[in-house]
Amino acid sequence: MSTKAERSFYVLPFGLDVQGSGPRSDREADPFGFDEPTNVFTRGVSQIIPQWLARKSVTVSIQTDKNHYAVDEPIKITILIRNRLPVPIRILTTQTRVWGWKVDGLVDASEEIYYQPKSQNVIELRAGETKKHAISWDGRIKRVDDRTHWEPLSRGIHTVTAFVTTPVVKTASKEIEVRS
């Protein structure tokens, strides 16, 4: 009897819910949700692919559940990171953070400055794999001054951007409109 694993789900502070990479559409999911290359052969193949080729093969896309929102309305963001090659890849990143999202240039919709140690990480994707990251954002920007507070997005057009921290940063953006 075969059962499919459920997607891992993490709740973060500041009104963010992040859903980990889910099952791949063409294969059965990793039972623990990690979905990373796990055998020696796969890791070996990913090591011989040149970094420049691996970086070119990765695509990033971003989607939202709607194009228009009311002030304070939650926004569902889906980020897809895809390996277009028919072989597994392993890419060195420039930061410990592998991927992320921004609203109007603010990482995680926050003015808060995060300490990023100067170290690398890796992105590992199986042949043709697409990693899906689903975020439910409360539509508020974290403001940091003499006191920390959260403000709803103002009316108008805003840009939501997804990124992967490869040496040449891969990004995808989408404009959303906040109406009354």
Per-residue pLDDT reduced to its tens digit, 121-150: 889 898 899 999 999 999 999 988 888 889
- pLDDT recorded at residue 67: 95
Which amino acid, 178? V
State the pTM of this model: 0.74
Quote the pLDDT of residue 118.
Answer: 77
The two three-digit tokens of residue 53, written as one number: 């080729």
The fold for domain 9-179 equals: Immunoglobulin-like (2.60.40)
Secondary element (H or E) of residue 53: helix 51-57
